[in-house]
Chain A
Amino acid sequence: MVGWEYPPFHTGGLGVHCQELSRELGRLGHHVIFLTPFDLPYDGAPGVEFLSPGRAGNDEIARISAYGVPEFHRAAFQTLVEAYNDWVGRLEVPGANVVHVHDWFGTEGGARLARRLRVPFVMTMHSTELDRSLGQPHVPIFERERFGIRRADALIAVSRHLAEQLVRRYGAARDKVHVVYNAVRPADEPPRPARRGDLVLFLGRLTAMKGPDTFLRAAARIADDFPEIRFAIAGEGPEYPHLVRLSAELGIGDRVLFFGKVSEEERAALLRDAAVYVLPSVVEPFGISALEAMAAGVPTIVSKTSGVAEVIDATFQVDFWDIDEFASRIAELLEYPPLREEMGEHGRTEATNESWADRARETVEIYRELLRGGR
């Protein structure tokens, strides 16, 4: 498994997917060697082994990565990526049956490794550079992405929507593209009490792509009708200063809470207090946080184009640009208790209906198909 980030040192769905997939593959009796450029104390699991240049004795990368992850556009970052790919490409991993890369980080090294080992090369796309950059891709990243998509024997997308993009915007061969959704880990906690929390929650990186701006504008339209409700934004990112200014401009400065980046425990506490969860992303290949909110029994409103909208029925789906509709949906959930309860209950059932173990089995099936194909 050629990865990048891994919990607890992760920023998004990519890290969660890598961890859950590796762990379940381990549980199914497979041996996962997880490659990452960073030598960090990851959450291990039986059958999952971490290998990084530092642990493997490559001092140069270990030195670079020790400074933390640099900004993506910095030269130092490019150096790190190149060194990582170089290391991956030369690695000795006797007995490996499949090389599986996640996103663009290790496509070049992964492809070289797979060719040398004469094993299938699989690539999972969690999002695309075209989407992340809202159409203005950083060229070196875009190139690595396209290289991986061209070379992969099988491509996995985390939603149908994303799969379609790989075909249409990246020219991927349709018969190579598979969909394996994200899932949630079953909750350790008992179902939440029936009482309504008083938070309307946004949880995610504060980037234009996640639509926090829409969240605030929708909040402003209904804030006066629900004086007891507060609008919570949890996450950090470049949009933060703008969002603080915007909430003041909209006259709801006293109604919005900014929590910054939250820990697992804080996230769980926020979900316990949430009456409604909103995922207003402009672009959302999957939206694992929405699935987690549903699994916690919180009624959820998601963008129509999000991947999670493909797997969950008990949710409101809204066009990402439709601020009035987001506002109305939030208000409706606050206003009508039976709606909140039915959607919360059925959302939880649906979100926990399929597990990471199912996703791992689907992934293994893709490996098997390639191996049978006698590549």
Chain B
Amino acid sequence: MKLVLYLHLHQPWRLARFRYLDLGSGKPYFDIPRNLEIFRGIAERSYRPTLDRLLRLLAEDPEFRVSLSITGTFLEQAALAAPDVVERLRAAVDTRRVAIVAETYFHSLAFLLPPPELEEEVTAHLRRLRELFGVRPAVLRMTELVYSDEIAQFASQLGFRGVLAEGWEGALGPRSPNYLYESAAPGVRVLLRNYRLSDDVAFRFSARDWSEYPLTAEKYARWLASTPGDVLGLFLDFETFGEHHPASTGILDFLSALPRAVRSEPTLRWATVEEALQGPLAGGFHVAEPMSWADERRDLGAWLGNDMQRSAFDAAKKLGTLVRLADEPSLWTDWRRLLTSDHFYYMYVSGKDSDTEVHRYFSSYSNPYDAYANYMNALNDLRRRCLAAIPPTEPDG
């Protein structure tokens, strides 16, 4: 059984309060100092200590493998707030036992926008990865692990050999997520996330009321070894280590102890996402409607579930035409930073369910109404700037 540990690194550019009365004022949309402060905090608690542990594991255990996806906005913030984090990432990639996964530079929902937006964003990400790490990933993931047949087609056109997706029974039916599947696009394979085993670490690790608490590396490795299949996808948010679960819960020690525990299970073998693409196929994996790794329903409801979210996304989508016409670097950057999916996530309206708690935890606003109003103001301001920048059409003749 191949064991694929894949960790996702992302930070959005959060907006400053941009009031209705700020429209046309020239005030910047994004609160750079606050974003960098947040980044430094998480770097201290999670990025730095976790990368140090991973580097040590890579040095100690020649079998250990890990895969990472790192958004463009994360890399921008890291360069400004904690350049040493980029250095650690480079050192990890240099071991050649760390694979990088490609995605949209801005962690956006560009797959819902008219072409060529998606291709431009993925290409921009690939360019950045080549500059920084000297690699060209073979595996693509969409924001929030969104997957559909269409996305597999797109991946195929851009020369990717694999795509990541949620191993959800809504799409799998009775089949197991622990195998390699063939996508709807020729030459593109699908690696699935085993969400139960992934969430044991991501969500349940520090839950004292969990019947399996405390989770030790040995116990976890036994579970992994006793799981039938060819490939086990443990796909986690990088911040699981040190941020969602603080170091005091023992999560970092759990990570450090995991390779040794895995070594004592003879059936388990680490693999990067790229190495995991080799092997027998268990059949076709077809998904007509986009599905994600978020919330109980795994649809796009987390970002486009209510009228505020949909109207905000539609407005951003429409604005794309003007941005393209105006074609100025500052307008492009602001627009694309506004496409980052987190902005729509913040507009999710709570119910009394477990998803709500998760949304709240990740929100930078006190409520979804603040998030929406603020976003719309910024977007409307950007529209004004685009209209002002578009050159008047030449009269015919």
**A: which residues have CB within 8 A of B?**
221-222, 313-317, 324-325, 327-329, 331-333, 335-339, 341-343, 346
Contact = CB atoms under 8 A, between A and B. Distances in A.
Contacts of A341: 307
B21 A327 contact: yes
A279 B10 CA distance: 39
B360 to A, nearest CB: 10
Contacts of A343: 369
A337 B308 CA distance: 9
B350 A313 contact: yes
Interface of A is mostly: helix
Question: For A314, A337, A339, A343, which residue has the most chain B Cβ atoms within 10 angstroms?
Answer: A339
Given A328-B20, A331-B20, A342-B308, A336 B368 contact: no
Contacts of A346: 349
A54 to B, nearest CB: 49
Contacts, number: 61
Contacts of A342: 306-308, 349, 368-369, 372
Contacts of A221: 21
Given A338-B311, A338-B372, 7 more contacts: A314-B369, A324-B19, A329-B373, A336-B308, A336-B372, A339-B373, A339-B376
Contact of A331 (B21, B349, B350, B372): B21
Contact of A328 (B19, B368, B372): B19
Given A332-B20, A346-B349, A339 B308 contact: yes
10 contacts: A221-B21, A314-B367, A324-B19, A327-B20, A328-B20, A329-B373, A336-B308, A337-B311, A339-B369, A341-B307
Interface of B: 19-22, 306-308, 310-311, 349-350, 366-370, 372-373, 376-377
Contacts of A339: 308, 369, 372-373, 376
Contacts of A313: 350, 367
Which 9 residue pairs are nearest across A and B when measured between Cβ atoms? Answer: A328-B19, A328-B20, A338-B307, A332-B373, A331-B20, A338-B311, A338-B308, A328-B21, A343-B369
Contacts of A332: 20, 373, 376-377
Contacts of A325: 19
B18 to A, nearest CB: 9
A342 B19 CA distance: 19
Nearest to B374: A332
> Which of B21, B350, B369 has the most CB atoms of chain A within a 10 A radius of its CB?
B369
Contact of B373 (A324, A327, A336, A337): A336
Contacts of B349: 342, 346
A317 B366 contact: yes
